[in-house]
Amino acid sequence: MNKIGIYFAFWEKEWEADYCRYIEKAKKLGFDVLELAAGCLPDMTAAQRREIASRAEDAGIDLTYCIGLPPQYDLACEDASVRASGIRYVGELLKCIRQMGGDTLGGIIYSCWPGGTVTYDYKQKARERSLDSLRGLSHMAEEYDINYCLEIVNRYEQYLLNTAAEGVDFVRELDSPKVKLLLDCFHMNIEEDSFSEAIKTAGELLGHFHIGECNRKVPGRGHMDWDDLIRGLRDIDYRGKIVMEPFVRPGGQVGKDIKIYRDQSGNASEVQMDEMAEEALTFIREKLRSGGDQDGKN
């Protein structure tokens, strides 16, 4: 069965946190993976990064890393100096992840987040600039043996890659064994005609998978068609990691960036938040065991 993880920011209101604490929490709740915010890594010392990696290894928890690149590192920007800064910055992220023994960097790592409003013509030119930026970074990802997973997100957050089909065309042009796709069912629910068909479109290029409800609650507390999603993963024999990325509490930089404007946790305590995560983990594991063959959506 796939390894199941959760993003640390389910509990946090800021992108920086005591990651060692969340490694222990993930282990206690029964998760296999903890996803971290990659943007914090360059600000740490090498010793701090090694400590996090060591604590995860001792706990038997895999670490994955995700980021939406800030606009000053936009890899598709018209300004060549901004693209150059982005290439240097992502290179530093890859070096940090390599030092920590990681194998996955995902997110909006082909342009920036949020992406702003552009014209269709601008998108086509930005696509070429992004491809050019990623050619060198893909070689670094190959050298470091890190999967560079491009997250397909909805049009309101980024304009460049909104569907699995767009992502496949983009990745095939790069032609690197380490550049893959990251699909996220929150975004798929907005942009795709079918969950399972989008997953099959990605096929062997699917390198990472994010899950959550349509309103960003934990899986099982909304109306997402989980059976169709699981059927798609089964049909392509996806064996990669599946990471929950729910956001339910307002406040802080996380709430601002994700646009969480109401408390969807029900004013939950940390214990209740833990219970939500644990229930969602059980829910997804049961769906994976059934292979998406159950009647109904939840």
Please identify which of the residues 12, 35, 157, 245 carries the catalytic annotation: 245
Please identify which of the residues 35, 151, 157, 213 carries the catalytic annotation: 151
Q: And the tokens for 265? A: 């946790």
* Residue 241, CB-side half-sphere exposure with 13 Å CA sphere: 26
Distance separating alpha carbons of residues 148 and 181, to the nearest angstrom: 8
Distance separating alpha carbons of residues 90 and 69, to the nearest angstrom: 9
SS (H, E, C) the chain: CCCEEEEHHHCCCCCCCCHHHHHHHHHHHCCCEEEEEHHHHHHCCHHHHHHHHHHHHHHCCEEEEEEECCHHHCCCCCCHHHHHHHHHHHHHHHHHHHHCCCCEEEEECCCCCCCCCCCHHHHHHHHHHHHHHHHHHHHHHHHHCCEEEEECCCCCCCCCCCCHHHHHHHHHHHCCCCEEEEEEHHHHHHHCCCHHHHHHHHHHHEEEEEECCCCCCCCCCCCCCHHHHHHHHHHCCCCCCEEECCCCCCCHHHHHHHCCCCCCCCCCCHHHHHHHHHHHHHHHHHHHHHCCCCCCCC
Contacts of 178 (CB under 8 A, 6+ apart): 138, 141, 142, 145, 146, 147, 148
The reply to whether 92 belongs to the active site is no
The reply to whether 151 belongs to the active site is yes
In the block, which residue shows the tokens 């946190």? 17
Show which residues are catalytic: 151, 245
